[in-house]
Structure 1
């Protein structure tokens, strides 16, 4: 069996696509309701791509931002994955290059042969060569990617609330204006709104090209959840400071009828946030609201007279991070305190290293050192800690960080403490 790992050529694009689950109709997501989907079914329905669709996909496949690698076995493509070039916002507000792993699969007849490990190593090497010191992905299965150094860094909630349970703690007069907009307006609003959001929100990623193109076209989704409706909030100057996308799927089952599904929601101000939710939670002829892709520190709960009205129905990891260059990664972000720690970081792919981190709110320096370590961890734990969404004390209690010097875990928590939980609503 001859194995070759390399980028594909334009002539091999269609063969590469046939390996991918969204093309060949094989499962691409665990058979459970997801936190990033507001519907009641498992996502997504599998529909094989037609020959005409495959031809169009193949023509659009190779670009500067999409870098596929394939595993060839005896000259045939048996598996593959790709890197998309995006940016992620890190603590301190910098937007840095991220190699986003996507479109990953190995044909069932070629599994358990180490093909994915070889493909992943080639892609991560490519990221390092291009200066991308962070890699990320959204895992369809949680047991796969830890072996390659990835670990969960952001999380999402899906929650629901009965309309009759909703009451706000205080009176509110919206100084702005709500608008039910069409898809054309939404297609203009969302790119601008998202750019403003990701400039401030740690963990948010830049959208792939064409992300918002489908809003203007409208149409019905494959899962039958009904057409998208667009709600826009404008401030007193007429500028958009919030928006939501929601659906009202029809169901003959009374238990599932009257559900308003919030598919996307962003607000730049407390006024826009409150006004948008006030309408969505009190929409006529509905009885329940389900919201997906929500941050774990959702402030809405604290605006309600009955905080138990907001019930979590799913929590799931979202963005997994892989640190490819410890020094550059630790120097580019900001810190909540001033301190110095020596970290012993193990990395099965790129080797162990001991690093002295001299951190402060206005900057940091990270240098290789032979000094005695304060903490020992692997690159997996460092990925989870990096955006501030996981505490070092949690991982230490779980036995995943070894404290070499008493108090070092507490000190690392103080350095990495975020203002808000990291969150990303846009994936790749």
Structure 2
């Protein structure tokens, strides 16, 4: 059996696509409602029509989409790809991220090490391009830890009965709300998202075409999208939401408003948008997906139990490819010096401060020992080192050093990415 790992050529793009679950109809998502999905059923298979497959194949090779494939005796048996995006790190810097996507190995070729070889080739490609972070969203939680990835951001999916909702305080909206069509929404969202990702740690730059065709029906048939925007006193958009009102003959599923996208730049816009969505005429329940784990809405309600979490899931998994460059790319919440021992990646003296950091290789005794997996989870500040220490995944070599590391990495807001790849 001859195995070759390499990028695909233009003539091989259609064969490459046929390996992927969204083309061949194999499962591509776990068989239950996910935290990124507001529908009531499991996400259905999506198989493109022949003409769409032809178009996708013709447009596959770009400067931002870098597919790799495993050839077994000349036939493509597995594949994946890296997309070129940016992620916002603590301090507000937006750094290059190699986003792993479109990953699959045909069932008849599993357990032969193909994915490991594909992943190795892609991470090498990231390093050659100067990307010191790689990331992915895992369809299954047991696969990618072996390649050094670990969860760094998380999402909530929640629901609330309309009759249970009451806000704590009277509120006067100094702006205005408006329902707009998909064309106007397609203009609003790119601008709004750029403003959001400038201040939100963990947010991702959108792939080309992200905000096009917002009128398209989703694969689950949940009905057309409705677009709600909020404008401030100057008329500038400072918040927006995309929601659906799917019809169902089943009374248990009828009258549900599904919020699939929501962003707000100010507390006023945030409060005004949710006030309408949670009191929409002829609805009885609101389900919201892709929500941050520190959602402030709960604290605005007279009954905080009205908001019920129905799913929590890891979202962005990170892999640190260059420890020094990654630690120097972000800022820190305190000033301190720690020596970190990263298994297989050496010992590093981290001189950290709120305005930046210096990271240098050292032979000094380590204060904290961990693997590159744990470093990926800690990097954006959404996971505490002390939590991982109690789980046996971080070792404290110097008394109090894990608490000091927590203080360095702390973020006022939990990292979150509403946009994926």
Counterpart contact for 2:20–2:102, Cα < 8 Å: yes
Q: Counterpart in 1 of 2:168?
A: 169
Secondary structure of the residue aligned to 1:127 is helix
Find the counterpart in structure 2 of residue 32 from structure 1: 32
How many corresponding residue pairs?
Answer: 421
Aligned to 2:193: 194
**Which SS does the other structure have where 1:61 is aligned?**
coil
Unmatched segments (≥5 aa) in structure 2:
none
Structure 1 residue 291 corresponds to structure 2 residue 280: no
Alignment-derived partner of residue 182 in structure 2? 183
- Is it true that 1:241 corresponds to 2:234 in the alignment? no
Residue in 2 that maps onto 1:356: 349
Query: Following superposition of structure 1 onto structure 2, how do residues 213-362 of structure 1 map, counting pairs within 5 Å?
Result: 213-215=212-214, 218-346=215-343, 351-362=344-355
TM-score if structure 1 supplies the norm length? 0.98
Taking only aligned residues, the RMSD between alpha carbons, in angstroms, comes to 0.6
Query: Residue 19 in 1 paired to residue 12 in 2?
Result: no
Match of 2:380 in 1: 387
Cα deviation per residue 1:65-119 (whole Å; 9 max; x = unaligned)? 0000000000000001000000000000000000000000000000000000000
What is the deviation of 1:49? 2.4
* SS of structure 2 residue aligned to 1:265: strand
Partners in 2 of 1:172 and 1:27 — Cα distance?
46
Which residue matches 1:110?
Answer: 109
Q: CA deviation at 1:123?
A: 0.2
How big is the shift at 1:363? Answer: 1.2
Residue 137 of structure 1 aligns with which residue? 136
The 5 Å alignment of 1:363-378 reads: 363-378=356-371
**Corresponding residue for residue 395 of structure 2:** 402
Q: Distance in 1 between matches of 2:293 and 2:79?
A: 33
Within-5 A mapping of 1:79-90: 79-90=78-89
Q: Give the match for residue 208 of structure 1.
A: 207
In 1: Cα distance, 2:315 partner to 2:11 partner: 34
**Secondary structure of 1:17 counterpart:** helix
Q: Which runs of 4+ in 1 moved over 3 A?
A: none
Per-residue CA deviation, residues 129-166 of structure 1 (Å, 9 max, x unaligned), is: 10000000000000000000000000000000000000
TM norm structure 2: 0.99
Q: Distance in 1 between matches of 2:28 and 2:313?
A: 16
Report how far residue 419 of structure 1 moved. Answer: 1.3
Correspondence for 1:55: 54
Distance in 2, Cα, partners of 1:379 & 1:323: 6
CA–CA distance in 1 between the matches of 2:225 and 2:58?
A: 29
| Structure 1 residues 269-318: Cα deviation after superposition (integer angstroms, max 9, x where no partner) | 11100000000000000000000000000000000000010000000000
